Amino acid sequence: MTHNDTERVTEILELMLDTVCTTRATVRINQDDIPAAVVKSQLLKLNPFHIEYIFDCMRDNPTEIRNIKAYLLTALYNAPLTMGNHYTALVAHDMASGKLFGGGSKGGVTC
């Protein structure tokens, strides 16, 4: 892990801690007010794979992120709900396009 990655992880952990420790009744996620207890539950489900998933999504995002705190909080909240299906869809796409098995129905592994 690079120094930059360590700083990014630290920022995410601080955002998670700030959110989990909030005294507010609700937390704004993707422009919706979600009960703080629900948000806390979602954040406590996160593991290092979720954080890596968020980094991957940010790297692949072509648009400018104007409110990074809101973006990250929404991404953190949604990660346990979307990560598995995201990677399943990527694998299905790669298989269909031939990136994994040499094209469509051929079935041969290419290296």
- The DSSP string of 17-55 is HHHHT--SSEEEETTEEEEHHHHHHHHTT--HHHHHHHH
- Confidence at residue 39, expressed as pLDDT on a 0 to 100 scale: 97
Give the pLDDT confidence of 3-61 residue by residue, as tens digits. 778 999 999 999 999 999 999 999 999 999 999 999 999 999 999 999 998 998 888 88
pTM for this model (two decimals): 0.73
- Confidence at residue 93, expressed as pLDDT on a 0 to 100 scale: 64
Give the pLDDT confidence of 75-108 residue by residue, as tens digits. 999 998 876 656 666 667 667 777 665 554 444 4
Provide the greatest CA pair distance for the chain. Answer: 57
**What is the C-alpha radius of gyration for the chain, rounded to an integer number of angstroms?**
17
